[in-house]
Structure formats: C-alpha cells, structure tokens
Amino acid sequence: MPTSSNAVFEALDSFRIETPSWGYADTGTRFGKFHQPAAAIDLDDKLADAAHVHRLTACCPTVATHVLWDFAPGTDAATVASKAGVLGIAIGSINPNLFQDQIYKLGSVGSPFETARDQALAHIIDCIKLGQVTGSKAVSLWFADGTNYPGQDNIRARKHRFEAALKEAHGHLSKEQILLVEYKPFEPAFYQTDLADWGMALLMAKKAGPQAKVLVDTGHHYLSQNIEQIVAWLLDEDMLGGFHFNDRRYADDDLTLGSIDPYQIFRIFHEIHLFAQERGGKYPAIEYMIDQSHNLKPKIEAMIQTVCTAQELYAKAALVDHAALLQAQKKGNIVDAEMCLKKAFNTDVSAALAEWRKSKGLDGDPLAAHRASAYAEKAAAERSKRRQELGIATEHSYA
Ligand code: PSV
Ligand code: MN
C-alpha cells in the first residue's frame, strides 16, 4: 500500500469540490419546506456561507449557481462574480432552470411546442453568456423533460428536438467552457424521461459537440445500478465531465454524501485513481460538485460534513495498492484483489487528513472549527431579523 500520509497529501492537494448555492438555502420535499434560522435568504448569504466553508476546508473555491434562484432578472453577473472574488471564492457551474416556468409543462427543449423550445434554448444561451461574464467553466444541464403517459408524445421526435437544441447551444460556448449533460431515470416525468440514463446523456453529449460531457449525479440511478462501472466506461471514453454528489436509500433522496453507502463513493474514486495511475499519474479534468438538499440537517454543518466525507473517501481510495491489485487480477485471485480495495477502505485516514489541514494552516477538524466560530449563531440572529422584516416564514419553535 502507498505510504499513507504521502498518498493522502498528494490526493488532497489536487482535490476540489464545488458546493451548491441551493444547499445553503431552505429547501424541502414536494410535501413542504422546513425553515432554518441560519439558512441563506439571498445570493449574498449563499456566497458568504460558501466562502466560510472554503475558509475552513481550503477545498471548495467555487460555488454552483442555479440561475433563476440566484440571478433574479436585472442581477448584474459581473458584480456577483466580483463579490464572490472579494470573499475568496469564484462562481462555479451555471445551472439553467428549464423546469419551473409554466411554459415547460410538456417539456423544455423536448416540448412539442415551439415557443417552449425557443424559450428554453434562449435561456441556455443566456446561461452560457452568463458563464462567460462570471468566468465559470461549466454550464450544467439537467432537463425535467419527459412524458407521463404512453402515447403522450413521439419519443423519437423529442430526441431529435434535444439533438438540435444541444448542438445549437454548444455553438455558443467559448473555448474555455464545457457543457455538462445530466441524466435521471424519472421524476418529474413518470412514464418516459428524455435523458433517462448515462447512455442517452453520452449520445446527446457526443452529438452536441466536443466540449460536451456527461455529468453523473450519484442519486440518479436505479437502486442496484453499478455506478462505478458507468464511471469507468465514461472515463475510458473521455466523456466523464463531472459529478453531482449526494446519497440515497430509495431514489433521488438528496441525502448527504456517504451517509448511506460510503463504499459506493470509495469505489467510484478508486476507478478515477486507477485510471490516472494507468496514465502515468495524469488525472482527467472532472468537476466534482455537491448536489444535496439536506433539508433537516443544519445547512453549513451538512456541507462541511459532506466535504470532509468526500476528502476522506478520495484519500482512502488513493491508498489502493494498484501493483498488488494487478498481480492478484493476473492470477485470478479474487479474494486478494477484493482485499486490496477493502484494506484501503478500512484504513483510518483521519490523522493524515488532520495533518494535511494543519499543513494548510487550517484547523484539523473543520466541523469543530465551524462550531467554535459561532458563524451559524450569528447568521441565525441576523437572518431571523431580516426574515421578519421581509415577512418571510420562519422555523417552528419547539420551546
Ligand atoms: C435534479 O434532480 C437535480 O439533480 C439537477 O441537478 C438540478 O439542477 C438539481 O437537482 C436541483 O436541486
Ligand atoms: Mn443533480
């Protein structure tokens, strides 16, 4: 096994994870939203919270934005980018909103209505321009498009509408930008989702153009699906663009990363380390992003917990002894091969992680440092007052 401290330090030095602006604000399920006193109210709060998480972890320099939720009409994107810069972070992926407008009832770029398709494409192109102003690399596309009943629309016609729109959108990218295509098996469409799996997303990305790649949201798979195999195949095709990290027990539950199945995330990271090792240590450019709603856990604590879990699993996966693994595989020694993975997964890397943080001038325990900073309490006091002034609903007091 590689010497643990060295391998952990090397792995963490290049590992960056983007936090989502929406993970700092009040979110919920379709049954309701529970409010938290410290939750971000507006984009300024979200940027401040994201900067706080980055200060404690030194691993989250960018924040993903969701366009309609963050950039209200009239918002000056350049001002937002410079505000983020002052706080020590940058605007990360731009996520168009192609599902909330009434016009999208039957879909966005896949809709049978030309007016809906035109509006969706114009919005994607606006988001590409927004990304150019904010200096963001990725425009990340997720479509709620699909149908609810057999016969509702022509499945192949919808596919053709997608191809045309994505190709056209790709033509507006600058050479620094990438287009990420996300898939999801169901919800909100319950009969047929237009981009339902990685094969459809891969095909669509290929048709869009060379700067388009696939985004793997860990929650967007059927329960028994082997996600690391999808990752391995996409890596091999040079088509893995990024991740949306979260965990789930049933479907797209948006629970915090590794809370249900940390070994799954470890196995995904193992495929990435193995791929890089086979290419002389050259890691592919992958956008690691969190996409959770963690609606019951305190927002910032959940984010820090997720970032630390991602670092821990990424570090553990870097400890797999690739030479021993190859030897075992060559001999057909299944038990020893599997043990190479298990041994790394079972290694306690917490001391090495704390050491790495201290070497960056950070507290060895970001969650404890967050709690000691009383950031959440101060935010709660100020934001509760502001909520009252704005007439926004607040949390239930059990006292
Ligand atoms: C859809 O479930 C999704 O995973 C997409 O990435 C959206 O942009 C995001 O969630 C919204 O939370
Ligand atoms: Mn997602």
Q: Where are the domains of the chain?
A: 15-319
pTM of the model: 0.97
What is the average pLDDT across 129-155? 98
On whether the CB atoms of residues 294 and 20 are closer than 8 A, the answer is: no
User: Atom 1, ligand 1: which residue's CA is nearest?
Assistant: 142
What's the pLDDT score for residue 2?
66
Mean pLDDT, all residues of the chain = 96
pLDDT tens digits, one per residue of 219-237: 999 999 999 999 999 999 9
pLDDT tens digits, one per residue of 65-124: 999 999 988 899 999 999 999 999 999 999 999 999 999 999 999 999 999 999 999 999
**Ligand 2 centre and the CA of 381: distance in Å?**
31
* Bridge partners, residue 316, by sequence: none
- Decide: 145 in ligand 1 pocket, CB within 6 A: no
Worst-scoring range by mean pLDDT, 31-40, 228-237, 312-321? 31-40
pLDDT tens digits, one per residue of 148-206: 999 999 999 999 999 999 999 999 999 999 999 999 999 999 999 999 999 999 999 99
Categorize the per-residue pLDDT at 255 as very low, low, confident or very high, splitting at 50, 70 and 90. Answer: very high
> Which own/partner pairs from 47-51 qualify as long-range (CB within 8 Å, at least 24 positions apart)?
47/21, 47/80, 47/83, 47/84, 47/87, 47/89, 48/87, 48/379, 49/24, 49/299, 49/300, 49/303, 49/379, 50/19, 50/21, 50/24, 50/87, 50/89, 51/84, 51/87, 51/88, 51/89
Percent of the chain scoring above 90 in pLDDT: 93
Predicted confidence (pLDDT) at residue 22 exceeds the cutoff of 90? yes
- Decide: 22 in ligand 1 pocket, CB within 6 A: yes
Q: What fold, for 15-319?
A: TIM Barrel (3.20.20)
* Nearest atom of ligand 1 to the alpha carbon of 182: 6
CB-neighbour burial class of residue 132 (10 A; exposed 0-12, middle 13-18, buried 19+):
middle
- Decide: 162 in ligand 1 pocket, CB within 6 A: no
